């Protein structure tokens, strides 16, 4: 645009990255013309949805026409560090930035119409070319319009709150409102326009703060209800663990337990009182859910008061220092997991700390091989959280490396199995076919990538191999033996083949690296049980998933099981954030699914990427299923501990939920809370799937019976 037509320029902090409009409004009023142009791409430079970065939320604003101030020369250095003025070669022009909400107020003032009723914008006076009296009157009108919204909100809150509970916004009480208005009128009459504008801006600022105050008036009350529910539910789960799965209760309770009928009456009266209180305040229906939910939870907690009493009397006989150290370590571990949702590099720190576990706990002296294997596997996996979640540059050679690593790992593993036990010929044939299939699936993305670069399209054979691999990925492992390592190897080969077809770079190395660590975890847990003197140790190669578990061998929970449950949660989070997550599906690289289809289909593409995210989960879940079998512990026991850990994380994320900032900040805070809240349910459903995946078998042919040593 030539300089002679430019009247004023600035940037709009849109705050919403989805607004895509080139011309916001065109007005023609009383012979005067004003043009307001804005635009907002709201996207990153590679085409995904924008976030909170200035390049994605700041949009150009150009205003010119009658009633608009001409561009002013900048005499002093301007306080902007985004370098947009330098890029546009407009360093000599004074830049005036506004919020997106301010544009409606500006346009209304330019054409002389009332400001929209629900507008929360502040009139940007530097854009106006008019008298000081007009500016003062316009700002006064703006202040009255925002103040009216504040009054409506205050009246609504006052009508739904008991008088002795209502606390008005102290900076803008009814008396202070009248005082502000009268002073503004007087200053305008006295022609002190600068002071009048300053006073009106102060009134608008207080009114906007008051709107937020009344909008979040019940936040503390509702937050306390939610926290009470969380604490009560976590306490109930802990008491349930102590009552049914831990051998802590040795003596009967000395204190008298509260009768159940008395307790029920007390909580029934409490529920009636809460309902009456909410009815008087005309609260919405959601308030009843928030406030009444803690009542049955705490009733269940107090019903178990006898268990708590027994725990108190058993405290002198407990290893208190060990209990406190475990509690401190779990608390620090939970905080590390919470921070890892925002900074994936914290998983690298966590893996580095976990790598030292065998050396600290004395397992290294008993089993140097598995301790060193655990150490190096943790360090190898620790590299992945430092890599970007997604990239625009494909590196198919790394996919080939991932296939070679999986093939080499499987070959070494089969050699160790051949040394320790007998492999059925059918199992050897199936493993050989699966290993060759992995190599083929590692080569298919290379062929597809080359064909697409040469503009020859997706080869039909590659597409058939890809879809056949996907369809058979959950069926082929069911054909293998249910011996522990036989089934785990078949699952790894089947899932990795599909994962390689959906990979474009370094993420192809993640499944083999994760499987190394999971294999070491299984063996080192066996050594940990031996170090603790747990009876009934069984050779891993002889364990069968499908064998019925002897109920008499299922042991009680120990403090070390807290560590096992925490390791499981940590590895699940690592599987989620290691190479990709749900957020990456929103803006993934389409080349990831080119082995399956090249025509855009969001539902099929999204489903394929979701399956890619779930595959590392299944690897960890199958390992956890194995840990439960090896340690002779019921899945219900360990999942109760996992439930406590996830509830502690969810409580922390509840305090981090925010309703301000960019859409990415708001959405991220909510999604983190929802993910952790639903994590336990998702893991329980996935546990059912993996239990079937590991213990069931499809027999397509009869095999002769073989006796293993």
For 5-41, the DSSP string reads: G--EEEEEE-S-TT---SEEEEEEETTEEEEEEE---
At residue 36, φ and ψ (nearest 5 deg) are -125, 115
Phi-psi region of 191 (alpha: psi -120 to 50; beta: other; left: phi over 0): left
Tens digits of residue pLDDT in 99-108: 888 888 988 8
Question: Per the structure block, which two tokens stand in for 701?
Answer: 């042919």
Question: Per the structure block, which two tokens stand in for 441?
Answer: 């699936």
* Residue 3 pLDDT: 35
* Residue 615 pLDDT: 92
* Residue 20 pLDDT: 31
Lowest mean pLDDT among 6-20, 366-380, 665-679: 6-20
Tens digits of residue pLDDT in 614-646: 999 999 999 998 888 888 777 777 888 888 888
Tens digits of residue pLDDT in 160-196: 888 888 888 988 888 899 999 999 999 999 999 999 9
Whether 283 has a pLDDT exceeding 50, the answer reads yes
Per-residue confidence band for 596, with pLDDT thresholds at 50, 70 and 90:
very high
Tens digits of residue pLDDT in 514-530: 999 999 999 888 888 77
At residue 558, φ and ψ (nearest 5 deg) are -125, 170
CB 637 within 8 A of CB 558: no
- Furthest-apart CA atoms within the chain: distance in Å: 107
CB 607 within 8 A of CB 506: no
Question: Distance between CA 299 and CA 301 in Å, rounded?
Answer: 5
* Residue 396 pLDDT: 86
Tens digits of residue pLDDT in 7-52: 454 555 543 333 333 333 333 333 334 444 444 445 555 455 555 5
What average pLDDT does this structure show over 54-60? Answer: 70
Question: Distance between CA 540 and CA 536 in Å, rounded?
Answer: 12
Residue-averaged pLDDT of the chain:
80
Which candidate, 417, 420, 413, 348, places its Cα nearest to that of 381? 348
SS3 at position 590? helix
* Residue 580 pLDDT: 64
Whether 465 has a pLDDT exceeding 90, the answer reads yes
Question: Distance between CA 675 and CA 688 in Å, rounded?
Answer: 19
Which candidate, 327, 330, 353, places its Cα nearest to that of 646? 330
Question: Distance between CA 445 and CA 504 in Å, rounded?
Answer: 8
Tens digits of residue pLDDT in 228-239: 999 999 888 888
* Residue 182 pLDDT: 92
Higher model confidence: residue 544 or residue 220? 220
Per-residue confidence band for 348, with pLDDT thresholds at 50, 70 and 90:
very high
Tens digits of residue pLDDT in 385-414: 888 765 556 788 889 999 999 998 888 877
Whether 495 has a pLDDT exceeding 90, the answer reads yes
CB-count exposure of residue 18 (10 Å: 0-12, 13-18, 19+): exposed
Q: Name the range with the highest mean pLDDT among 66-70, 229-233, 546-550, 581-585.
A: 229-233
* Residue 22 pLDDT: 31
Per-position DSSP letters for 38-98, written without gaps between them: E----B-TTSSB--SSHHHHEEEEEEEETTBPPPPB--S--S--S-HHHHHT-TTBPP--E
CB 378 within 8 A of CB 351: yes
Whether 446 has a pLDDT exceeding 60, the answer reads yes
Q: Euclidean distance between the first and final Cα of the chain, in Å?
A: 86
What average pLDDT does this structure show over 485-494? Answer: 90
What average pLDDT does this structure show over 583-591? Answer: 58
| Sequence-ordered list of residues with C-beta below 8 angstroms from that of 396, at least 6 positions apart, any chain | 445, 446, 449, 504
Place of tokens 């004074």: 94
């Amino acid at each position: 645009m030539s300089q002679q037509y430019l009247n004023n320029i600035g940037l709009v902090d849109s705050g919403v990255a989805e607004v895509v409009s080139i011309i916001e409004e065109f007005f023609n009023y009383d012979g005067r013309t004003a043009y307001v142009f804005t635009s907002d791409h709201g996207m990153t430079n590679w085409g995904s949805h924008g976030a909170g970065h200035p390049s994605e939320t700041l949009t150009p604003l150009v205003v010119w026409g009658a009633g608009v101030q001409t561009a002013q020369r900048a005499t002093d250095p301007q306080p902007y560090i985004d370098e947009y003025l330098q890029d546009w070669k407009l360093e000599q022009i004074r830049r005036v930035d506004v919020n997106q909400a301010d544009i409606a107020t500006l346009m209304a003032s330019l054409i002389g119409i009332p400001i929209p009723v629900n507008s929360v914008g502040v009139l940007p006076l530097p854009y106006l070319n008019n008298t000081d009296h007009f500016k003062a009157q316009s700002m006064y009108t703006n202040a009255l319009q925002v103040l009216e919204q504040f009054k409506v909100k205050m009246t609504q809150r006052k009508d739904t709150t008991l008088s002795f509970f209502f606390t008005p916004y102290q900076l803008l009480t009814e008396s202070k409102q009248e005082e502000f208005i009268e002073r503004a009128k007087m200053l305008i009459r006295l022609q002190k326009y600068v002071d009048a504008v300053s006073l009106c801006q102060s009134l608008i600022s207080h009114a906007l703060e008051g709107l937020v105050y009344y909008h979040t008036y019940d936040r503390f009350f509702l937050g306390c209800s939610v926290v009470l529910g969380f604490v009560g539910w976590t306490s109930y789960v802990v008491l349930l663990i102590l009552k049914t799965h831990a051998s802590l209760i040795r003596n009967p309770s000395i204190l008298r337990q509260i009768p159940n009928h008395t307790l029920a009456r007390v909580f029934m009266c409490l529920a009636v009182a809460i309902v009456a209180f909410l009815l008087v305040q005309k609260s919405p229906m959601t308030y009843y859910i928030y406030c009444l939910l803690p009542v049955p939870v705490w009733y269940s907690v107090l019903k178990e008061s006898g268990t708590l009493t027994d725990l108190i009397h058993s405290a002198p006989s407990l290893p208190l220092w060990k209990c406190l150290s475990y509690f401190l370590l779990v608390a620090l571990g939970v905080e590390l997991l919470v921070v890892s949702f925002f900074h994936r590099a914290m998983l690298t720190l966590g893996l580095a700390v976990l790598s030292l576990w065998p050396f600290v706990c004395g397992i290294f002296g008993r089993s140097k091989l598995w301790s060193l294997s655990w150490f190096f596997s943790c360090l190898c996996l620790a590299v992945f959280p430092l890599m970007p979640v997604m990239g625009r540059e494909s590196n198919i050679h790394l996919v080939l490396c991932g296939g070679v690593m999986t093939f080499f790992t499987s070959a070494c593993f089969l050699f160790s199995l051949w040394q320790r036990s007998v492999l059925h010929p059918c199992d050897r044939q199936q493993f050989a076919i699966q290993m060759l299939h992995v190599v083929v699936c590692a080569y298919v993305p290379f062929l597809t990538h080359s064909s697409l670069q040469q503009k020859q399209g997706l080869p039909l054979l590659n597409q058939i191999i890809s879809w056949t691999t996907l369809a058979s990925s959950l069926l082929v492992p069911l054909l293998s033996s249910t011996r522990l390592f036989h089934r785990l190897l078949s699952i790894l080969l089947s899932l990795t083949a599909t994962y390689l077809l959906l990979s474009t770079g370094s993420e192809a190395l993640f499944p083999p690296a994760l499987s190394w660590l999971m294999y070491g975890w299984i063996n080192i847990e066996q050594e940990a049980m031996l170090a603790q003197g747990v009876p009934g140790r069984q050779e891993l190669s002889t364990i069968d998933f499908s064998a019925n578990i002897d109920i008499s061998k299922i042991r009680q929970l120990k403090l070390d099981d807290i560590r096992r449950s925490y390791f499981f949660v940590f590895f699940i989070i690592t599987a989620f954030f290691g190479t990709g997550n749900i957020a990456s599906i929103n803006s993934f690289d389409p080349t990831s699914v080119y082995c399956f289809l090249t025509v855009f289909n969001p539902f099929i593409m999204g489903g394929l990427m979701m399956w890619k995210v779930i595959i590392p989960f299944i690897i960890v879940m199958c390992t956890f299923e194995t840990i439960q079998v090896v340690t002779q512990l019921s899945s219900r026991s360990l999942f109760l501990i996992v439930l406590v850990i996830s509830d502690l994380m969810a409580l922390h994320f509840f305090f981090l939920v925010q309703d301000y900032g960019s859409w990415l900040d708001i959405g991220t805070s909510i999604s983190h809370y929802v993910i952790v809240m639903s994590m336990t349910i998702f893991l329980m459903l996935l546990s059912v799937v993996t239990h079937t995946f590991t213990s069931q078998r499809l027999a397509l042919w009869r095999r002769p019976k073989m006796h293993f040593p």
